[in-house]
Amino acid sequence: MNHLTIANSSAMLILCAIAIIIVVLQAVLFFILGLKRAKELGIKDEEVKETIRSSAIFSILPSLPIIVSYLVLIPALGRFFPWLRLSVVGSPVYETMVANMAAEAYGFEIMDKNIPLDVFLGILFLVSIAILGGNIFNIFFLKSYDKKVESLKNKNSAVVPIITTGMFLAVYGIQSAPFFTNIKNLPGIVALFSAGIAALLLGKITEKFKGIKEFVFPVSMVIGMFAACIASVMLRG
């Protein structure tokens, strides 16, 4: 049986829908509690409505890379599992990267059409379980971690930005190194450089237009993806 038959089955739809419904209900509950708290604090209805409106608008563009990633993952993981992963605690970068790493660890390509069912389930398990690391860490260690950071800030405030920047650079380096060094995947290299250059240029623009700061990352991703598509077409031609 083709693994995509299971991935696109009604059973998979039901299982994924249950999890997503729980998340949606949680969001609705927080929204209701937020409105209630706003009234308790005496915040005007006009201010609440304006906050809701601006939040809704500023949520549209950042979601575009997620939609693109969903469409990319459908041929590999089916219609429903990517929908689940990107609707809960997933991200476009994480889902595509870990899914591909898991498939390669089993000796397959993520876009292979005949992945054995046990391998396919292993990929789904790895993609789902790995993302929980950060959440579990936050539950048990975030409070003590924040205290240590505050303590370090009080002792030497200049050290904290250096440490956190170094950590982020290390994470980005680990995630991007396989693509930078893969000369055979020219569209991937084009996407990285295009997105990076776009992020730098947009970052300069935001110095004058502060309101678009939140859009730098998603717009850069879209530009990188678009550049990769153009590169793919040119290479095939």
Per-position b or e across 120-147, b if 16+ CB within 10 A of its CB: bebbbebbbeebeeeeeeeeeeeeeeee
Judge contact between 93 and 218, C-beta under 8 A: no
Q: Assess whether pLDDT exceeds 90 at residue 150.
A: no
Residue closest to 221 by CA, chosen among 63, 60, 56: 63
Lowest mean pLDDT segment, chosen from 69-73, 83-87, 137-141, 194-198: 69-73
Span 126-136, pLDDT tens digits: 888 888 888 88
Residue ranges per structural domain of the chain: 1-130
Span 215-226, pLDDT tens digits: 787 788 788 888
- pTM for the complete prediction? 0.68
Q: What share of the chain is helix, strand, coil (3-state, %, to 5)?
A: 85, 0, 15
